[in-house]
Amino acid sequence: MTTPTLSARGLVKRYGHVTAIDGADFDLYPGEVLAVVGDNGAGKSSLIKALSGALVPDAGEIKVDGETVHLRTPIDARRIGIETVYQDLALSPAQDIAANMFLGREVRRTGPLRLVRKLDTAKMRTEAQRVLDELDIKVKSITQPVETLSGGQRQGVAVARAAAFGSKAVIMDEPTAALGVAESGRVLALIHRIRERGLPVVLISHNMPHVFELADRIHVHRLGRRVAVVSPETTSMNEVVGLITGALEVGENGAVREVEAAVHTGLSA
Ligand SMILES: Nc1ncnc2c1ncn2[C@@H]1O[C@H](COP(=O)(O)OP(=O)(O)O)[C@@H](O)[C@H]1O
Ligand SMILES: [Mg+2]
């Protein structure tokens, strides 16, 4: 059995009376694209926040390469090599592309200038350009403020940043939600390239065609927990939608089946 790169068991997170994560399990295996799907409010974003240190769960366990980890902040997760592209992208609009790529981990000059802790702007620009080129992300200039970029280009910068610094896994929360068809296509191509580099990717998405185009496995999240993991090769889009809404479930034999009304009404006994 392969050890998951990133896994979780029994995660719980409550906000007052709302249980955002209700005993959720999770497994991401080396080299795969895992799609996480579910209705609005199912708890997908909360789950990935727990996996990226942006929230600390009330209960449960997270493992990286089989070792238990305690992620107290996003910096803890980044140190381990888990990079996340949040729904709001977390970019600094007035700063240029290079500065955004190195946000929070600026390259300082070595030598005497280090005393004044001057940023090595030239080095950051060269490196940022190299990463954009490698991922085939086209921008006019690396010194453009991020606020002058299109939605797709901004998404590209956020994804490139994650791909550049991620050594373990890249997590993306709805990366194509705000994009047009052409821009979405470029982000999907980026995810392909990240996988080709051997980095596993967690893709949270509402978009079934995107999920079916990219995912090796599909994790279905409902009411705060994982209710199924299915293969896009053997499961149809309609079946995945049924699992999301709760009309369908995965039976003991692993096959997708209708949920019997009798089970709900307690008449089955
Ligand atoms: N910071 C928060 N405070 C209170 N409730 C929250 C917070 N974050 C999420 N929730 C609630 O938790 C549930 C799951 O939300 P979320 O994880 O954003 O789901 P999804 O990403 O699947 O739409 C929702 O009912 C949401 O309103
Ligand atoms: Mg969300």
For 75-111, what is each residue's pLDDT tens digit?
A: 999 999 999 998 877 888 899 999 898 887 776 666 6
The label of the residue with tokens 């980095």 reads 199
Q: How far is the CA of 111 from the centre of ligand 2 (A)?
A: 45
Side chain identity at residue 113, one-letter code: L
pTM for the full predicted model = 0.89
Q: Is the separation of the CB atoms in 224 and 200 below 8 Å?
A: no
pLDDT at res. 269: 47
CATH class of segment(s) 6-265: alpha beta
- Which residue lies with its CA nearest to atom 7 of ligand 1? 15
Q: State yes or no: pLDDT of 9 exceeds 90.
A: yes
How far apart are the CA of 45 and the centre of ligand 2, in A? 4
Q: What was the pLDDT predicted at 1?
A: 79
195: burial class by Cβ within 10 Å (0-12, 13-18, 19+)?
A: middle
Judged on CB neighbours under 10 Å (0-12, 13-18, 19+), 252 is exposed
Residue nearest to atom 26 of ligand 1 (CA): 41
Distance CA 110, CA 94 (A): 27
pLDDT digits (tens, 9 = 90+) for 202-261: 999 989 999 999 999 999 999 999 999 999 999 999 999 999 999 999 988 888 999 986
User: Do residues 239 and 248 lie in contact, with contact meaning Cβ atoms separated by under 8 Å?
Assistant: yes
Distance 40 CA to ligand 2 centre (A): 7
Which of ligand 1's atoms lies nearest the C-alpha of 49? 17
Strands 201-204 and 33-37, by their bridges, are parallel
- Residue 263 clears pLDDT 60, i.e. is over it: no
pLDDT recorded at residue 171: 96
Residue found by looking up tokens 């990219």 in the block: 214
The verdict on the CB of residue 224 being under 6 Å from ligand 1 is no
Nearest CA to ligand 1 atom 4: 15
Between the CA of residue 28 and those of 43, 54, 116, 170, 177, what are the distances in Å?
17, 18, 43, 11, 22
